[in-house]
Structure 1
């Protein structure tokens, strides 16, 4: 399950320039990874992208996966995102 979450986050940024190139995307990733952000706060920050209860439930489950991880795992995910944004392939953008 950890691998699925990491791959999902790694696939999100489609372009990068000193970050993802999209502040909203970076904020969502930060809110998902940050254990100090509750599920309710996450859903409030992306409310415009939640059209129905099924999507809201999926967001709840997705965030819960991260809330169950250790701080080391969350730190590693954050490091992964920083490495992706600073990678050789992203510097071209």
Structure 2
């Protein structure tokens, strides 16, 4: 499961680079994935465009549940990491 999380987080800058209109939606999806207080129904509403197949929907549910089980410190550190990736020298201008 940790490897899946690493791959999903690693693809975020690539997705935003190739699809400039998707970054705000992706930011919202990331925020709702990491935020354990967001109910699953609201989360599904946010990601439904990207989870049309049942196995993808199941995977993102597990991904959200994984973050929901993390401590507040871990969730905060993930926000810090995402912010650092988006604001790095390699990503500026995308």
Partner of 1:54: 55
Return structure 1 stretches of 4+ with deviation > 6 angstroms: none
The within-5 A match list for 1:41-80 is 41-80=42-81
- Give the structure, 1 or 2, with the largest relative contact order (CA under 8 Å, sep 6 or more): 1
What count of residue pairs does the alignment treat as equivalent? 90
If the length of structure 1 is used for normalisation, what is the TM-score? Answer: 0.79
Identify, as 1 or 2, the structure richer in helix: 2
5+ residue gaps, structure 2, are: none
Q: Distance in 2 between matches of 1:86 and 1:2?
A: 24
If the length of structure 2 is used for normalisation, what is the TM-score? Answer: 0.78
Q: Distance in 1 between matches of 2:36 and 2:6?
A: 16
5+ residue gaps, structure 1, are: none
